[in-house]
Amino acid sequence: MSAEATNPEAHPEARPELRRRGRTRLDLRRLGRAALLGPTSRDRLPDAIGHVAEAHRAHHPDADLSVLRRAYLLAETSHRGQMRKSGEPYITHPLAVTLILAELGAETTTLTASLLHDTVEDTDVTLDQVRTEFGDEVCFIVDGVTKVEKIDYGAAAEPETFRKMLVATGNDVRVMSIKLADRLHNMRTLGVMRPEKQARIAKVTRDVLIPLAERLGVQALKTELEDLVFAILHPEEYESTRALIAAHAGERDPLPAIADSVRGVLREAGIAAEVQVRPRHFVSVHRIARTRGELRGSDFGRILVLVGENADCYAVLGELHTCFTPVVSEFKDFIATPKFNLYQSLHTAVATPEGYVAEVIVRTRQMHRVAEAGVVALGNPYATATPDTAATDPDEERVDPTRPGWLSRLLDWQQSAPDPDTFWTVLRAELAQDREITVFRADGGTLGLPAGASCIDAAYAQHGAAAHGCIGARVNGRLTSLSSLLSDGDTVQLLLAQDASSGPAVEWLDHARTPAARIAISSWLEAHPDRAMAPTSAARAPLSVVGARGGGGNAVADLPDATVRLAGCCTPVPPDAVAGFLVRGGAVTVHRIHCAAVAQMRAVGRTSVAVHWRATADCRVTLRAESFGRPHLLADLTEAIAREGVEVVSATVEPPVEQRVRHSYTLQLPDAAGLPALMRAMRDVPGVYDVSRV
């Protein structure tokens, strides 16, 4: 069966310090007796789901509970006679899962599917029967959380079950909400299993389910799952943390007094707010202890301030920072810049006159609801869908306003990972990345990428397989290599080769972080082993065309009879600010004032010579053109230069590298004012994507 149980008294769930304050717990024995009594009269709900109805009505006062009654009766009838390993009737499991979701504020459709989530997997109930009695949405969700048959998939059953669930989540996030609640109840009741099986389930929970809960913003489930996994996988650290918390319980807690001070400050300021003390959960205390060493009383919890409006959050922050001493390094504004999992709050820390430092979280009540329940708090994402926009084809992807960027990326790359082992390994690696950045595309769109992503990752995220031909990128308007790391808010323009046969280099795997990029690159290299071993650049000398070379152009040095030369490293032209230096042979070399060689000349003690420009407007300059390789490119560039009336003094063409070609031209211009027009004319040549002065 999909959910297994044990005696709750044998598991850490029974310990009061692991229970979330204010959250009711099902009495499994009483529910079991109620379930065994069978259906009740038609005019009232069965006693066994009274807890669920009460919790549901607290969030949805007008909810129609009749559908929950029908779902319970079908679940109870179909599971009748089945028992959990702990001896309770099996119906207690879907009831407990449904209560967890009801407490988080899930809407009726989610609760209906939750009651039925094991019926298709473990009983004779079929999906067609669920669809007929409860509709397409409930059927879709139940199918999404139903495991694939082990008899068909063998050892790959677990990875393929998660793949199926994630694909379904891409169309309806309520699928994953039920899975998380299902795993939480199973983790609460895991103790009678063999230790090795407990450890295996706990590791999957740690590597996959907890990161998914974090990404979906369901902190209430995530924190309890973390504590339960902590108790199983790290029993010694768990016991030491429990001892720390127990020792603190016998001491004076400074946080209530600090909370009273905060209430007084906000009351005097006329800000309506609710101030609570929120104890840290076990894993949070353990992390703080590792970071800070010896803990003080204020380290075992945080102060939560709930207000009505966004503006009130900043008003509270101003009062706190005025009346207490703020710890500036602890301030974070997740309201102006929300986390990628919907989380919004202001975080700060203040020091009291007694020397305590208290962490404070400020948020609105709606933010608090979303922070605790995440996507569950958003209700039915299709409630406002019209018949014209709702998907009717079960194979058609449904547009879900709650689908975050990481989920879209995951759904994309999983299609390219047919091997279950590859999927399972890459999924864990993807979920281990706990921060996202947003970069802007040149066309105005955005890309969501994990922190540490490179231009290669952006290329595959935007262009898919076409990114095999990517040869460069501009980040914030500047040319950069594909290996360059991207930062939040960067604007990236990706340059693709016109040659359809282009492919990625082996070195790209060293800089690709996203699974989509790594899988695509590896697949291409496996399909082109000969290209994978080819060198990335040709070992040929540059092609040079040299004409007559001039000297100092119209630069004049304040040194009689001195020969003046314009430096080839920066090729200054009027009206550039320039500096001159005396070199061997009595010549004066002229550099642009910001050229790196100027500092070197001064460092070695070269004599500085004043230089100015003649009244004549002609000048010499070196330009570099970056372009895609194609036939006749050199001829077209030379023709464009000639049309501007400019003389080519010398030209150098470097061998192609990854379909990119670099041309360097030293040019004699009749008038320096014509330089911008010349550079525009060169950029207009097909295939040229950048022209710059050397």
3-class DSSP assignment, residue 666 = strand
Whose CA is closest to 578, among 672, 650, 647, 651? 672
Whether residue 334 contacts residue 392, with contact meaning beta carbons closer than 8 Å, is answered with no
Whose CA is closest to 222, among 379, 375, 5? 375
Residues 6 or more apart whose Cβ sits within 8 Å of residue 618: 553, 554, 668, 669, 670, 671, 672
Residue 529: count of CB within 10 angstroms of its CB? 8
Whether residue 42 contacts residue 187, with contact meaning beta carbons closer than 8 Å, is answered with no
The 8-class DSSP code of residue 308 comes to S
127's tokens: 């999906």
Q: What type of residue is 398?
A: R
Q: Supply the angle between the helices 515-527 and 455-463 in degrees, to the nearest 10.
A: 80
Backbone angles phi, psi at 664, to 5 degrees: -120, 130
Burial class of 344 by CB neighbour count within 10 A (0 to 12, 13 to 18, 19+): buried
Annotated active-site residue in 17, 47, 121, 253? 121
Whether residue 300 contacts residue 355, with contact meaning beta carbons closer than 8 Å, is answered with no
C-alpha to C-alpha distance for 461 and 473, rounded to whole angstroms: 14
Whether residue 134 contacts residue 112, with contact meaning beta carbons closer than 8 Å, is answered with yes
The 8-class DSSP code of residue 89 comes to B
Q: In degrees, to the nearest 5, what angle opens at C-alpha 118 toward C-alphas 115 and 120?
A: 110
446-450 β-sheet, strand order: 446-450, 436-441, 491-496, 470-475, 478-480
93's tokens: 């499991």
Tokens 């291409």 correspond to 524
Q: Supply the angle between the helices 136-145 and 174-188 in degrees, to the nearest 10.
A: 50
Residues 6 or more apart whose Cβ sits within 8 Å of residue 460: 467, 512, 514, 516, 517, 520, 521
Query: For the CA atoms of 127, 130, 136, 139, what is the dihedral angle to 10 degrees?
Result: -60
Whether residue 437 contacts residue 453, with contact meaning beta carbons closer than 8 Å, is answered with yes
- Secondary structure in 3-state letters for 618-635: CEEEEEEEEEECCCCHHH
Q: What type of residue is 656?
A: P
Annotated active-site residue in 76, 88, 122, 143? 122
- Is 121 a residue of the active site? yes
Q: How many CA atoms lie within 13 A of 298 on its CB side?
A: 17
- Is 122 a residue of the active site? yes
- Secondary structure in 3-state letters for 633-654: HHHHHHHHHHHCCCEEEEEEEC
3-class DSSP assignment, residue 586 = helix
Active site residues: 121-122
